[in-house]
Amino acid sequence: MVAAGASYEARAFGVRSGTPLRAAARRCPDAVFLPTDPAAYAAASDRVMATLRRFPVLVEVWGWDEAFIGGDIDDPHALATGMRAAVATETGLSCSIGIGHNKHQAKIAARYAKPGGIFQLTAGNWTELMADQPVGALWGVGPRTGRKLAELGLSTVADLAAADPAALVDRFGERMAAWLPALARGAGDTGIATEPRMARSRSREVTFPEDLSDRTEIAQRLAALARELGRDVVDAGRRVTRVAVKVRYRSFFTQIRIRTIHGGPTTDPAEIERTALTVLAEKFDLDRPVRLLGVRADLALEPCGTGGSDLG
DNA sequence: TCTGGGGTCCTAGGACCC
DNA sequence: TCTGGGGTCCTAGGACCC
C-alpha cells in the first residue's frame, strides 16, 4: 500500500505520492490517513472545470486536478488571477497557475507557482531557470531517459538543448532524438482539445496482501476482475477489441500478454472474461507466486450501437 | 522509496500476403 | 527454388504521467 498523494504539510516530512504507507507513518507519525474517494474528486473536478469554462478561453481537462487553458491572451497574469479567485469563491479550492507559450512551459511554470500561486515561463526566462536543472525536470523525461542521457554525458537541460539529434538517434530512435533537444529548449505542444477524449482502454488490477499460489484461485480472481471490467465497459457503451492480462510475480517481474478478440470487437462480458482466462492459461507461467493480477480492455474508437448518438 | 492503480503513446520484430 | 520489397496486422515491451 502506498500514498496516492500527500498534503504539503506531509510532504515536508518526505511523504509523497508513491510512498509506502508504512514509511509514511514512520516519517510523519501525526499524519492523518484518508481513504480515496473518487466520486468526491470527480464532483469537485467538475465544479472547477465548469468555473474555468466560464472564462472566454479554451479549456482542456487534463485529469482530475489539472487543465490547460488556451487562447490569445493579452494579459495572462490578470486572467490567471481572476481564475484563481473564481475557483476559490465557487469551490473553496486553491489552485496554482503556470503560464507559458506552450503546454510544456505552462506545465513547468505551474511547478514554480505552487503552492497556490501564479508563475510565468517564457522564452525569456526559460534558459535562466531551466539550464542547470537535471533533464528529469522536463515534462516527458523520466528516470529511464534521464539515465540513458547521462550515459551520453547529457545531464542538464542545457546539455540536452545543445545536443545534436544525430547523436541521439541510435539510443532513442528518430522521433525522440529530434524531440528531446527541442523539449530542452522549451518547445512544446500548443493544441487545446476541448472535446473530452475517447478512452482507448480501461483496466482493473489488484495487488494482493498475500501472494497467490493456487492456480484455481488465481483464475477465479482474474475472472472476477474481468467481470467488473466487462460491466464498466458495457456501461460506458464501448466495444472491446483486445484483452490484456497482467501478472506481477513475487519478484516484481511483470508481464503483460494480450489477445485480439476473434471475430471483431465485442460487447459481451462473458467473452471478455473467457478471453482473459484463456490468455492467463496459455501465456503465463503460474508456478510462481503471484503478487498482482490485472485485466485491460482495449476499446474500439467507434462506440457501439446502431448509428445513434446515445453518448451525446 | 521493497515498490498502487489507472491511463497513454511509441517502437521493434514476427507473421503473412502480394 | 531462391530472391527482394512493401504493406498490414499482431504482440511484446519500454517509457511516461497523474
Using one digit for the tens of pLDDT, what is the confidence trace for A172-204? 888 899 999 999 999 999 999 999 889 999 999
Residue A303 pLDDT = 66
Which H or E element spans position A161?
helix A157-161
Chain C nucleotides near the protein (CB, 7 A):
9-18
Return the percent helix, strand and coil in chain A, to nearest 5. Answer: 45, 20, 40
> CA at A4, C1' at B5: how many angstroms apart?
9
DSSP 3-state of A24: helix
- Enter the pTM of the model: 0.89
Residue A153 pLDDT = 94
- Cα–Cα distance, A109 to A230 (Å, whole number): 40
> CA at A124, C1' at B12: how many angstroms apart?
40
A190 touches strand B (CB under 7 A): no
Q: Any idea which residues of A carry the catalytic annotation?
A: 66
**Residue from A143, A132, A126, A114 nearest A183 by CA:** A126
- Cα–Cα distance, A130 to A152 (Å, whole number): 20
Residue A305 pLDDT = 55
> CA at A242, C1' at B13: how many angstroms apart?
20
> CA at A87, C1' at C13: how many angstroms apart?
42
A176 touches strand B (CB under 7 A): yes
Residue nearest to nucleotide B1 (CA to C1'): A19
A202 touches strand B (CB under 7 A): yes
Residue A310 pLDDT = 35
Q: Judge whether A37 and A46 are in contact, CB under 8 Å.
A: no
* All residues at 6 or more sequence positions from A205 whose CB lies less than 8 Å from its CB, including other chains: A225, A246, A292, A293, A294, A295
A92 touches strand C (CB under 7 A): no
Residue A130 pLDDT = 97
pLDDT-flagged residues of chain A (< 50): 306-312
